[in-house]
A and B are shown apart, each in its own frame.
Chain A
Amino acid sequence: MDILANLSLGFSIALSPYTLMLAVLGCFLGTIVGALPGLGPSNGVAIMIPLTFTLGLDAVAALVLLTSIYYGAMYGGRISSILLNIPGDEPAMMTCLDGHPMAKNGRPGDALVISGVASFVGATLSTIGLMFLAPILANIAYQFGPAEYFALYLLAFCTLGGIASKNQAKAAFASCLGIMIAMIGLDPNSGMARLTGGNLHLYDGVDFLVAIVGLFAVSEVFFFIEKHGAQGALNVVLGRVTVPWRDIWATRWTMARSSVLGFIAGVLPGAGASLGSFLTYVTEKSIAGEKGGFGTGVPKGIAAPEVGNNAAAGGALVPMLTLGVPGSGTTAVLLAVLVTLNITPGPTLFTDRPDVVWGLIASLLIANFVLLAMNVPMVKVFVKILDLPPAVLMPFVTMVAFVGIYSLTGSYFDLLLVTAFGVLGYVLRKLDIPTVPVILGILLGGKMEKQLRDAMVLSDGDWTYLVSSPISVGLLIAAFLGFIAPMFLRRILRKPTPPETAKGRD
């Protein structure tokens, strides 16, 4: 029983008072971050990263804090979806569809409790899934050489943003842009400066933390300035919160199905939590059929997307930890943390640093119970936070982000870069170009090139080496399919359902 032994190691780390305190703090901050419209999980984790380093947290502590924020944000996102009809973050969008109608029908407390329990079920089951699947995947990943890793990175870039974005050229451009930025700096093989334009500040390359904070946090501030902070007012009165046991019990199969589906969506590289909540909602809606009343505020319609996005959040950690390829935007941010802490995710992580992996898994299990307590009995505390006006919140976020970066590098040049990335992020998001692939490109571009060059060294310049193993061929085919499939799927998904009269002809 390897897993039990590992898990007890994990709990011995996670239950130390200090780690436990960080987990609780992370859960609390995360729920706030998730609940506030305009601050998603990626934003929340991004602005916390520089502070984590300046506080001098070690690897386990930093990771526990940041993943608790990540999980917490996934829970918190539903609060503003239900009460304001504004998703607190992208994956919580589907929760608006049934959550807000139920709140308007006079049952806001029930909606919050059902979705809180759903989040708990999804997150806990997927953390257990992570526990079992990750070591298996790590064992497979041992057989990966440079050719396989190159194919894997290609797969991540091809599938990322594919489904989230409407235009494949734009998603592909976003990846290229990230990789192009990653090339700036000293060439790791020869030590020569590349593409720096002679600017000494750029010799170390562009720090991905700078890019993350700029693209996510600063660009969000620009959007708030453009909209002048127009925000829906709280139009729902939250009375006493009770637990609707009957409704929760009625959604048990929905929760079970959605956990599996969400977890799978999370594990797929590049798909992430938004896809998880979308798929689970659509699936449950079609299972329930017309009589299900989806969209009018039914418990299943609230449970499905919440289970889905939380299960996907756990699933997305699987490829991040075992292969070093993140499954979503926020796990890309977490990967950046690991890399900066000198921890290389991948199969060796499981044998070299079991304390990191299992400490993290145990903390996540604990964090789920903490989050359940915060999000069901204590949910009113977080509802109060929705009253915080953006005119205070957004300057706060900007300043914390800037000081975090400044205290990390002490360079005014990085602050200029943060601003530049903020403007870039604003333009990209305006044009519907996804920003997550840019981050992933900056993060993985250098590694992708290194694997390709290593492969060419091993084979002495023979390109067929890239397709010489079944694993790499499989990954390359998956990359190709992952890139073209959304073009066709989109057409099918968008196609309007034929009216009733058209069906009777055959």
Chain B
Amino acid sequence: MRASDRIFGAVVVLGSLAYVASASQIAAPFFSDPLGSRAFPMAVGIVAAICGAMMVFSPDEDPEWPAMRSLLALAVATVLLVGYAYALRPLGFLLPTAIVSAVLSFQIAGRPVAAVLTGVGLSVGLWLLFRFVLGLSLQGLPAGWG
């Protein structure tokens, strides 16, 4: 099976062409240099599309994709990190960090008690490190709690 490269190559071709199309719409300023704002991004986009086409026509062997369970774990980790990005400001450093590092630790080693300890330990330890040793102004607790 060589499906991975073909699919990825097709995505690259479509994405690159969309990029070229969008680059061709860049508004032209009144005064411009001979080359202008559009030419270079469009040229690079076209080269990328050619590379994508080459991946479609001469693909490599498929890599070993993880099993469904691992993929699910990866999806959970991604959602968690996205959530972390949104939670860091309103909830402060300690709580989100403890949750994310505990879950990541559990996903890597699969030991629940060790994972909780890792989460709490990392969260408090890093907070002390960042706040008092490195002097970053990190909000520790949720806004309004101190």
Contact = CB atoms under 8 A, between A and B. Distances in A.
Q: Do A and B truly interact?
A: yes
B37 A189 contact: yes
B41 A195 contact: yes
Contact of A391 (B41, B44, B66, B109): B109
Given A172-B47, A412-B85, 11 more contacts: A54-B136, A167-B55, A169-B51, A173-B12, A173-B48, A176-B48, A180-B41, A180-B44, A189-B37, A390-B108, A399-B97
B122 interface: yes
B55 A169 contact: yes
Contacts of A391: 105-106, 108-109, 111, 114-115, 118
A42 B116 CA distance: 30
B51 A192 contact: no
Interface residues on B, range: 35 or more
A394 B88 contact: no
A431 B41 contact: no
Contacts of A435: none
A390 B66 CA distance: 19
Interface stretch (A223-231, A311-319, A337-345): A223-231
Nearest to B52: A173
A430 B63 contact: yes
Nearest to A449: B40
A396 B33 contact: no
6 shortest interchain CB distances as A-B pairs: A391-B109, A415-B85, A461-B34, A395-B101, A176-B48, A173-B51
B33 A189 contact: yes
Classify the interface of chain A: helix, strand, loop or mixed: helix
A452 B48 contact: no
Interface of B: 4-5, 8, 12, 16, 19, 22-23, 26-27, 29, 31-35, 37, 40-41, 44-45, 47-48, 51-52, 54-55, 58, 60, 63, 65-66, 70, 73-74, 77-78, 81-82, 84-86, 88-89, 93, 97, 100-102, 104-111, 114-115, 118-119, 122-123, 126, 130, 134-136, 138
Contact of A399 (B26, B73, B74, B101): B101
Contact of A225 (B48, B52, B107, B130): B107
Classify the interface of chain B: helix, strand, loop or mixed: helix
18 contacts: A51-B134, A169-B58, A176-B47, A176-B51, A218-B81, A226-B70, A228-B110, A391-B111, A392-B105, A392-B122, A394-B104, A395-B102, A400-B126, A407-B130, A413-B85, A430-B65, A431-B4, A453-B35
A448 B136 CA distance: 36
A423 B107 CA distance: 16
Interface residues on A, range: 35 or more
A398 interface: yes
Interface string A379-423: 000000000011110111011101100110000110110110011
A274 B34 CA distance: 41
Nearest to B106: A391
Contacts of A394: 104-105, 108
Interface string A424-460: 0011001110000000000001001100110011001
B134 A54 contact: yes
Contact of B86 (A54, A412, A418): A412
Interface in A292-334: none
B33 A225 contact: no
A179 interface: yes
Nearest to B70: A226
Nearest to B126: A399
A127 to B, nearest CB: 30
A233 interface: no
Interface string A217-261: 010011011101100000000000000000000000000000000
A207 interface: no
Contact of A398 (B60, B86, B88, B104): B104
Given A426-B74, A457-B34, A225 B85 contact: no
A457 B102 CA distance: 56
Contact of A422 (B22, B37, B81): B81
A452 B111 CA distance: 55
B44 A183 contact: yes
